[in-house]
Each structure stands twice: as C-alpha cells, then as structure tokens.
C-alpha cells in the first residue's frame, strides 16, 4: 500500500472469467497479480448467464482448460454439452484447486483506468473505491459481457418485472401461472423459450429476425468417448489449436455443388440429426463462402421448420429469409420449433409491427398491446467493445478509448490499441473470439501475452505500445478474411449492426486460429514487429 492508500502491484487482471482466471494462474508466480471482478463469483459468461436452458454448444471435453493435465484427467463432464450450472461448478473447482480467490476482489468492477506516461503505470479505480497502480493491465473482460437493453420508453410504468437474461436470479424464478414476454430470438432466447413455455401460463415470443436453429444433440457423456479423449488429451489439445476453430469437429471437404440433389439431401438430413452442434453449417465446405451452396442449406432448414411447426403462418414467420445460414451465429435449440405447437405459446412479429413502449400492463407494439407479468430481454450484447468502452479508459494524451473507437474498434492482433500502452486484451475485438473455442484459445492468448510481459522484464523495457500503421494492417487482414464469407450479408453482433448506431466493420478475425496464432508468434519473433517498446 503506497501513499493515499494507493496499492502498487505488477499486473491488474480485469475479469475472473475463464481467461482471467488462467491469467492469474499463469502469471502469479513471477508477478504480483490482482484481479477485479464485477460479479460475486468466478466464471464470467458462465456466472452471468444463468437463464433457464443456458448450455454450451461445444463438447465439454474440448471446452475446458488444458493447462493442467491432472485437472483434465480428473474432471468428469456428465454431458457432451454442459449446462450453465456444471460450467460454473467447474470454474469454482478451478478457483479453489489453484487458490485463485486470494488474488480476486469480487463485486468490485473496474470503473476507470488512466495511464500515467511519466511512470509508465496504469491507475486503476474500482466501484468500491480501490485505487491501484500497476505496470500492466490484462483486460479479460469477455466478448459478451455488456448487455444490450433497448430503451423503449415507459419502463417505470410497467407493474411487472423486467430483466435481461444476464440478470437471472441465482435462486431461479417461479414463472408458474405467469404471462411471460420474451424479446429476442438469438442463441439465448432460443435456449430459454422452450423451458419457460413449460412453466408459464402463456409465453409470447417477440421476434424481430428469425434465427436458423438446429437440434443440440446433447446427451450423457459416453464413457468410451471420455476415455479416448483422456488417453490422448495433450495431443488432442495441440491438434485443436491447428484447426480453424480450435475444435476437433469435422471440417467438411465436399462442395455442395459436387453431389446430386439426393446426396445433398441425405448429407443435410444426417447433419440435422447428427449429434454435433453446427453440423448444418459444416455440411459442405462452401456453405460459408458461396451463396448458391448456402441456399441449398437454407432451403433444407426451411423445409424442416415447415415440417415441425403445424401452423403454416407461424412456420413462415420462423423461416429466416433475409440472410444466409451461418451469416449470424447458428443457434442450437432444444425443442424450439416444436414449442410453437403448444397452445400457450404465441409468436409475435415485431419486424412488421415494432415494440413502441412499455405500458402499465405489458408492452405495446405498433399493432397491439400485450398484457404480461414478466418481460425477459434476450436482446443480446454490445459485443466485443462494450465491456471496455463502458470503462472510462484514458491512454496517452488523455485520449479515451471510447472516443478512439467511436467509428469502430482498432487493434493490433486484437491484443493492443495504439496509445494505450501496457494494456492487453484477451479475446479482444479482432481476435478469433467466439469463432474459435474460447477456453483453449483464451489460454493460448494468455500464454502469448505472458510471453510479451516476460520479454519486457528480461529486456529491461517499461512501456510497450502498438502503432496506427500496425492497427491498419491488421484491420485489412480482418476485413479480407470476413469479406470472403457470407457474414457480410447479415447484421449481427459480429459486425455491431445488432446495436443501433454502433459503427465499425466485422469485429472478429475469421482467417482461422492457426493463421492468427502464427501471425502473433511471428510478430514477436520478428523483433516485436508492430509493437514499440521502450
Ligand atoms: O444475442 P443475439 P444472444 N427489438 O444478439 C433481438 C453466445 N451464446 O444473447 O436479430 C426486438 O444473438 C435480436 O433481433 P435482431 C453466442 O455466441 C451462446 O441470443 O437483431 N428485438 C435477436 O433476436 C450468441 O451469438 C450460447 O433483429 C431485438 C436477439 O434480440 C451470443 O451469445 C447461448 C431488439 C439478440 O440475439 C449472443 O446471443 C447463448 C429490439 N430492439 C448465447 N434488440 C451457446 O453456447 C435486439 N433484439 C449455445
């Protein structure tokens, strides 16, 4: 503790999600590390998103830490795709097993960061009044942390309860006998809706844009499958990092154009029934790059929706027709389309008649009023940038990060921002982020960042920054990779077009994880190319 109760540490980590927790573990033997966490527990995404049905759609044996072989050997995942409580339990186990809590201050979000150019130190101010000075900040703030809550007027008038899916109470909610309105039909809304429909008296699903959804295929973990993974864990972890999405799912080699219509349908039917999430998008090697190939899959998905949903008008509304499949994130459901055959579920199209306001008794659209007891906002996130721009971050020459990013994020390798020295991001804008398996790639990014910090110490440097030229060159790479895919035809959190007025281009690097990792490694090997060290 220094003067005026200012504490002095080497590294501040922001966020005790999976990457932040690993950053503490990785660095604490060499450095004095302190982590600030907004929540009262560990787990990040899997701490905040405890809405009914929250479940990962990547095989848990992959979607878990690889840094400690005893941990991955001993931990048992009961299901292929773990539900939120299991992921939170795992995060807590890791925090206890590796004594991470002693480095974490909970319920204490960082509110302000200011770089002092004279001392090359960051001043960190938190909601609870902590003031810490440190040499490096690692922002492990998550891609999907800052919630998006549309500002329809009249919220104070509504007599019922309104909550975003990230605010679900730990003790759950009793929705029996309640008239529930669920706004939003992305991955979250689609997971939550069928479970809410089973409890509520009536569920109104307010849909602006339908999403493509395929069945999850979740099931209890097969013992042989688990054993095969555990026998080869270290090799498999390495293999994962050599694949496009850092996952051992099967990547297709066949073009949709290279088969007969019958073969195509058979492959798509197998994909739909497969036990792997995302298989529909991975049915052919050109679904994500060629609109004609993509159209086959879109038509197949439409046929499935029309087969499942009995009311033809509802089925038509549920068929996505304004963007290619995979353009937005493919959603993984559990009885989502079937749910619309229930008498207590109504689909409300808020594209043709948008929501106007909250009323005393519910919601009003331009067409009609709806009486509701509970309104659930599954309206997504100010993704990738929101977690950082909502902190008051001031770099060199008093420039604020939110101002620097007002026309969209600029980063070098998704890791640093010019003018904000000694501040590193994990899963920042323009990394592969959620387009690659985030726990394993988060570990990778933490290791790479730790290497940069260790080299600073070794070489006697006190400041590392990047340049606007490096940022521009990286932006060109990010754009080129995205421009080659069907993502450009969809509005989504990937490009910020899910938020009114948010500017910028595609915010995720989708050139594949191996290429991203090579670029990062080569930059360091090439005399810290793109960085400036003093
Ligand atoms: O958020 P979203 P999410 N009026 O942005 C609607 C990950 N995740 O929380 O499409 C009316 O996808 C919006 O409509 P539109 C995953 O990466 C993973 O569902 O913008 N509606 C949309 O329907 C995912 O991609 C898992 O027209 C409004 C919805 O709200 C990411 O998190 C599970 C509106 C938001 O959908 C985000 O998913 C859950 C308005 N003003 C999440 N504003 C798994 O691993 C927004 N909407 C399985």
Indicate whether residue 379 lines ligand 1 (CB < 6 A).
Answer: yes
Rounded Cα distance between 391 and 388, Å, is 5
Partnered with residue 392 across adjacent β-strands are: 112
Helices and strands: H and E segment counts in the chain: 16, 20
Rounded Cα distance between 237 and 132, Å, is 36
What digits encode the pLDDT tens for the residues 353-389?
999 999 999 999 999 999 999 999 999 999 999 999 9
Burial of residue 240, with CB atoms counted within 10 A of its CB: 0-12 exposed, 13-18 middle, 19 or more buried = buried
Indicate whether residue 208 lines ligand 1 (CB < 6 A).
Answer: yes
Rounded Cα distance between 410 and 504, Å, is 9
For residue 250, what pLDDT is reported? 84
- State the distance from the centre of ligand 1 to the C-alpha of 413, rounded, in angstroms: 26
For residue 249, what pLDDT is reported? 87
What digits encode the pLDDT tens for the residues 195-247?
999 999 999 999 999 999 999 989 999 999 999 999 999 999 999 999 999 99
What is the pTM for the complete model shown? 0.97
What are φ and ψ of residue 197, in 5° steps?
Answer: -60, -30
For residue 276, what pLDDT is reported? 82
Q: Give me the residue label for tokens 């879109």.
A: 298
Q: Ligand 1: which of 247, 380, 386 to mutate, judged by most atoms within 8 Å of the beta carbon?
A: 380
HSE of 65, CA atoms in CB hemisphere, 13 A: 29
What are φ and ψ of residue 137, in 5° steps?
Answer: -120, 135
Indicate whether residue 183 lines ligand 1 (CB < 6 A).
Answer: yes
Rounded Cα distance between 289 and 176, Å, is 45
Gyration radius of the chain over CA positions: 23
Q: How many CB atoms lie within 10 A of CB 115?
A: 25
Atom 31 in ligand 1: which residue has the minimum CA distance? Answer: 187
What digits encode the pLDDT tens for the residues 48-103?
999 999 999 999 999 999 999 999 999 999 999 999 999 999 999 999 999 999 99
- State the distance from the centre of ligand 1 to the C-alpha of 209, rounded, in angstroms: 10
| Nearest atom, ligand 1, residue 277 CA | 48
Name the average pLDDT for the chain.
96
CA–CA–CA angle 341, 343, 347 (5° rounding): 65
Measure the N-to-C terminal CA separation of the chain; round to a whole number of Å: 27
Query: Residue length, the chain?
Result: 534
3-state secondary structure of 380: coil
Q: Give the pLDDT band (50/70/90) at residue 4.
A: low
As a three-state string, the secondary structure of 306-324 is HHHCCCHHHHHHHCCCCCC
- Residue range 235-260: mean pLDDT, rounded: 94
Q: How many CB atoms lie within 10 A of CB 495?
A: 22
What digits encode the pLDDT tens for the residues 24-36?
999 999 999 999 9
Report whether 386 contacts 76 (CB < 8 A). Answer: no
3-state secondary structure of 10: strand
CA–CA–CA angle 73, 74, 77 (5° rounding): 95
Rounded Cα distance between 428 and 412, Å, is 10
What digits encode the pLDDT tens for the residues 297-356?
999 999 999 999 999 999 999 999 999 999 999 999 999 999 999 999 999 999 999 999
Atom 20 in ligand 1: which residue has the minimum CA distance? Answer: 498
Indicate whether residue 124 lines ligand 1 (CB < 6 A).
Answer: no
What digits encode the pLDDT tens for the residues 483-515?
989 999 999 999 999 998 999 889 999 999 999
Rounded Cα distance between 388 and 410, Å, is 13
Indicate whether residue 97 lines ligand 1 (CB < 6 A).
Answer: no
H or E stretch covering 44: none
What digits encode the pLDDT tens for the residues 428-468?
999 999 999 999 999 999 999 999 999 999 999 999 999 99
């Amino acid at each position: 503790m220094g003067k005026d109760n200012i504490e002095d540490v080497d590294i501040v980590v922001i966020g005790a999600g999976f990457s932040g927790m690993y950053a503490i573990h990785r660095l604490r033997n060499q450095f004095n590390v302190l982590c600030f966490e907004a929540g009262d527990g560990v787990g990040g995404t899997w701490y905040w998103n405890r809405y009914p049905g929250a479940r990962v759609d990547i095989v848990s044996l992959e979607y878990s830490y690889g840094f400690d072989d005893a941990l991955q050997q001993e931990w048992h995942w009961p299901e292929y795709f773990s539900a939120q409580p299991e992921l939170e339990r795992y995060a807590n186990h890791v925090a206890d097993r590796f004594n991470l809590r002693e480095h974490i201050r909970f319920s204490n979000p960082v509110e302000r960061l200011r770089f002092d150019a004279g001392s090359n130190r960051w001043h960190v101010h938190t909601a609870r009044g902590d003031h810490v000075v440190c040499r490096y900040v690692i922002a492990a703030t998550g891609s999907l942390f800052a919630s998006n809550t549309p500002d329809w007027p009249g919220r104070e008038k509504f007599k019922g309860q309104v909550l975003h899916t990230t605010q679900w109470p730990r003790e759950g909610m009793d929705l029996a006998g309640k008239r529930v309105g669920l706004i939003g039909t992305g991955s979250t809304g689609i997971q939550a809706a069928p479970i809410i429909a089973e409890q509520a008296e009536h569920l109104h699903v307010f849909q602006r844009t339908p999403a493509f959804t395929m069945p999850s295929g979740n099931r209890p973990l097969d013992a042989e499958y688990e054993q095969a993974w555990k026998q080869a864990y270290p090799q498999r972890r390495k293999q994962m990092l050599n694949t496009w999405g850092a996952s051992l799912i099967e990547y297709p080699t066949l073009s949709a154009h290279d088969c007969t219509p019958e073969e195509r349908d058979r492959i798509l039917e197998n994909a739909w029934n497969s036990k792997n999430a995302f298989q529909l998008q991975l049915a052919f090697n050109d679904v994500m790059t060629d609109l004609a190939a993509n159209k086959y899959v879109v038509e197949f998905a439409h046929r499935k929706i029309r087969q499942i949903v009995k009311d033809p008008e509802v089925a038509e509304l549920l068929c996505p027709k304004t963007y290619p499949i995979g353009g937005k994130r493919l959603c993984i459901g559990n009885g989502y389309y079937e749910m619309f055959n229930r008498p207590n579920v109504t689909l409300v199209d808020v594209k043709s008649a948008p929501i106007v306001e909250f009323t005393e008794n519910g919601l009003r659209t331009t067409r009609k009023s709806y009486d509701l007891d509970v309104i659930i906002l599954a309206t997504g996130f100010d993704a990738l940038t929101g977690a950082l721009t909502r902190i008051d971050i001031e770099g060199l020459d008093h420039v604020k990060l939110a101002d620097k990013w007002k026309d969209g994020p600029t980063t070098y390798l998704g890791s640093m921002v010019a003018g904000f020295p000694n501040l590193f991001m994990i899963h920042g804008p323009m990394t592969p982020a959620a387009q690659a398996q985030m726990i394993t790639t988060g570990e990778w990014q933490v290791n790479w960042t730790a290497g940069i910090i260790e080299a600073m110490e070794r070489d006697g440097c006190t400041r590392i920054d990047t340049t606007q030229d490096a940022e521009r060159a990286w932006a060109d790479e990010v754009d080129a990779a995205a421009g080659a895919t069907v993502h450009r035809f969809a509005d989504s959190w990937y490009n910020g077009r899910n938020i009114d007025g948010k500017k910028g281009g595609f915010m995720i690097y989708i050139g594949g994880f191996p290429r991203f990792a090579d670029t990062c490694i080569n930059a360091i090997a090439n005399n810290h190319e793109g960085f400036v060290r003093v």
